[in-house]
Amino acid sequence: MTVACKRVNDNLIEALRGIVGDRLSTAVAVRDQHGRDETYHTPHPPDVVVFPDTTDEISRIVTLCAQREVAVIPFGTGTSLEGHIAALQGGVCIDLNRMNGVIRVNAEDMDVVVQAGVTRKQLNEHLRDTGLFFPVDPGADASLGGMAATRASGTNTVRYGTMRENVLALTVVLADGRVIQTSRRARKSAAGYDLTRLFVGSEGTLGVITEVTLRLYGIPEAISAAICTFPDLESAVDTAIRTIQTGVPVARIELLDEVQMEAINKYSNLAYPVQPTLLFEFHGNNAGVVEQAETVEAIAAEFGAAAFQWETKTEDRNRLWQARHDAYYACLALRPGCKGFSTDVCVPISRLAECINETRLDINETGLVAPIVGHVGDGNFHVIVLMDFDDAAEVARAKAFNERLVARALAMDGTCTGEHGVGHGKIEFLTAEHGDAISVMRALKMALDPFNIMNPGKIVSL
């Protein structure tokens, strides 16, 4: 069954102008920019882009689109990776960037209400003097509305969780234009089904998230980081696993393989050993941080770590983590002119070493240039395949490699996507992974969006 949306016509554009005035564009450049993400997916521009200022305007826009069965695609910063923002059926792209106000910081209750267009870095800037921070840090400086919609995570999930654990409530414009608030400010909601988390990760397919209430954390009294080099991938991964199993409350454990280390050294002008490496960060009070680091150092030594180097100075630590955040761009520099394609499987941590090892062998056999980075504390790792998107044979090789990788992860009871999401790029993998649940998801989608106007063609196709 296909439920097709209608296209935008002049009459609708006039009606939209009645709501947003000049904050609307049909210019090709603007539409192109809103139909393209940072990946190899084919761009699909929307018919028109609107830039609303308020939830009420969005409600009126969606109401108009619902009456005319025109697709609605919410857009934050366009940094998703699986074609989430592609306007597969044209329609109206709602760009939330103008809704970038921090509405209220409740320092005592450690929460904050933001408009959906506020980015994660902007929020942390705003919080700087409060002693609080928001931990979820995907690579891009994404909007918090987009992060909620894609259930984003980052490098410190192992301690602070993903958006799933950190969104307390949402304001959402539903597919018929009505506005709901999913929960009150109280932390614990037992007032019905958990609608907040139904929308977290729904990728814009159930409604437009316009405001987000987020949980905040106290900036730790002490933060320290360490970098540790290993003779091989397996001992690095085993160190990470043992650390988690021991219950050390590390804030971050990131794995970078030797190819990635070489890329980082070149890109960030550093001189780390070109070997499999773990980066750690510890949060706590002064004594706690020392204790955590010593425990991990002992574990690492057991697995043959070469050196365990502390970075206690803020600037050294920042340089280290900036290098990690720039990993993707560093990779691109390995093969100038190429683009990166990132895989995203996640497996139970007990299978992680095996999965990464088999994948490394596969990469070597396939002859791809493909560094590995991983949020190994969660069992999630990325292979960044560098390729020439114009070389059909190379693209085919990369895709075949990814299919093998997903199959490998599923066979180990893992998932095809730990954090990038489904969009339209992974719909087929989702079916392979969750067969029966797809019909449940489809029933939910149809119940909440009967005309299939909300970001159609993502997660489930109708």
Partner 1 sequence: MTETLKPDTADQVLDAIKWAAGEGMPLAVRGQGSKEGFGRVVDVPHCLDLTGLSGIKAYEPSELFMTAMAATPMAEIEAALRQNNQHMAFEPPDLGRLYGGGNAKESGATIGGAIACNLAGPRRIQAGAARDHFLGFNAVSGRGEVFKSGGTVVKNVTGFDLSKLLAGSFGTLAVMTELTFKVMPAAEKTRTVLVLGADDSNAMKAMAAALGSSNEVSAAAHLPIAAAAFSNVSYVSGAGKSVTAVRVEGPGPSVEHRCRALAELLKGYGAIEELHSENSGTLWREIRDVRLLADGDNLIWRLSVPPANGGDVVARLGAEIGGRVFYDWGGGLVWLSMGARPHAGHEIIRAAVAAHGGHATLFRAAADVRAQVPVFEPQSDALRDLSVRVKQAFDPKSVLNPGRMVEGV
Residues 120-159 that bind partner 1 (CB under 8 A): 131, 150-151, 153, 157
The candidate with the shortest Cα–Cα distance to 249, out of 376, 156, 312, is 156
Is residue 377 a contact partner of residue 158, using CB atoms and an 8 Å limit? yes
CB of 174 to partner 1, least distance (A): 7
CB of 59 to partner 1, least distance (A): 11
Per CB under 8 A, contacts with partner 1 among 44-83 are none
For partner 1, what does the binding mask look like between residues 332 and 361, x meaning CB under 8 A? Answer: --------------xxxxx-----------
Does residue 174 belong to the site contacting partner 1 (CB under 8 A)?
yes
The tokens for 50 are 């609107």
End-to-end alpha carbon distance in the chain: 6
Of 262 and 358, which CB lies nearer to partner 1 in the complex structure?
A: 358
d(CA 357, CA 355): 6
Residue-wise DSSP of 351-419: HHHHHHHHHHHHHHHHT-B--EEEEGGGTEEEEEEEE-TT-HHHHHHHHHHHHHHHHHHHHTT-BS-SS
Residue 247: Cβ within 10 Å count: 8
Of 47 and 203, which CB lies nearer to partner 1 in the complex structure?
A: 203
Does residue 379 belong to the site contacting partner 1 (CB under 8 A)?
yes
Instruction: Give the gyration radius of the chain's Cα atoms.
Output: 22
Q: Quick one: which of 185, 319, 335, 339 contacts partner 1 (CB under 8 A)? A: 185
Residue-wise DSSP of 313-350: SHHHHHHHHHHHHTHHHHHHHHSTT-EEEE---B--HH
Of 13 and 441, which CB lies nearer to partner 1 in the complex structure?
A: 441
Distances (CA, A) of 186 to 162, 168, 193, 374: 20, 8, 15, 35
Does residue 9 belong to the site contacting partner 1 (CB under 8 A)?
no
d(CA 451, CA 67): 10
Does residue 413 belong to the site contacting partner 1 (CB under 8 A)?
yes
CB of 181 to partner 1, least distance (A): 8
Does residue 284 belong to the site contacting partner 1 (CB under 8 A)?
yes
Of 49 and 66, which CB lies nearer to partner 1 in the complex structure?
A: 66
Of 371 and 377, which CB lies nearer to partner 1 in the complex structure?
A: 377
CB of 192 to partner 1, least distance (A): 5
| Cβ-defined contacts of 284-289 (< 8 Å, 24+) | 284/220, 284/221, 284/222, 284/249, 285/220, 285/221, 285/222, 286/221, 286/222, 288/222, 289/220, 289/222, 289/223, 289/224
For partner 1, what does the binding mask look like between residues 187 and 226, x meaning CB under 8 A? Answer: xxxxxxxxx-xx-xxx---x-----------x-xxx----
3 state DSSP class of 433: helix
Does residue 291 belong to the site contacting partner 1 (CB under 8 A)?
yes
Stretch that binds partner 1, among 24-32, 64-72, 325-333, 445-453 (CB under 8 A): 445-453
Listed in sequence order, the residues at least 6 apart from 103 whose beta carbon sits closer than 8 Å to its beta carbon are 113, 114, 115, 211
Of 24 and 346, which CB lies nearer to partner 1 in the complex structure?
A: 346
As beta bridge partners, residue 395 has none
3 state DSSP class of 456: coil
Q: Quick one: which of 279, 448, 453, 454 contacts partner 1 (CB under 8 A)? A: 448
Stretch that binds partner 1, among 11-19, 34-42, 105-113, 272-280 (CB under 8 A): 105-113
CB of 222 to partner 1, least distance (A): 7
Stretch that binds partner 1, among 11-19, 24-32, 180-188, 381-389 (CB under 8 A): 180-188
CB of 159 to partner 1, least distance (A): 10
Does residue 418 belong to the site contacting partner 1 (CB under 8 A)?
yes
Q: Quick one: which of 16, 363, 430, 453 contacts partner 1 (CB under 8 A)? A: 430
Stretch that binds partner 1, among 44-52, 353-361, 382-390, 429-437 (CB under 8 A): 429-437
Q: Quick one: which of 103, 249, 301, 396 contacts partner 1 (CB under 8 A)? A: 249
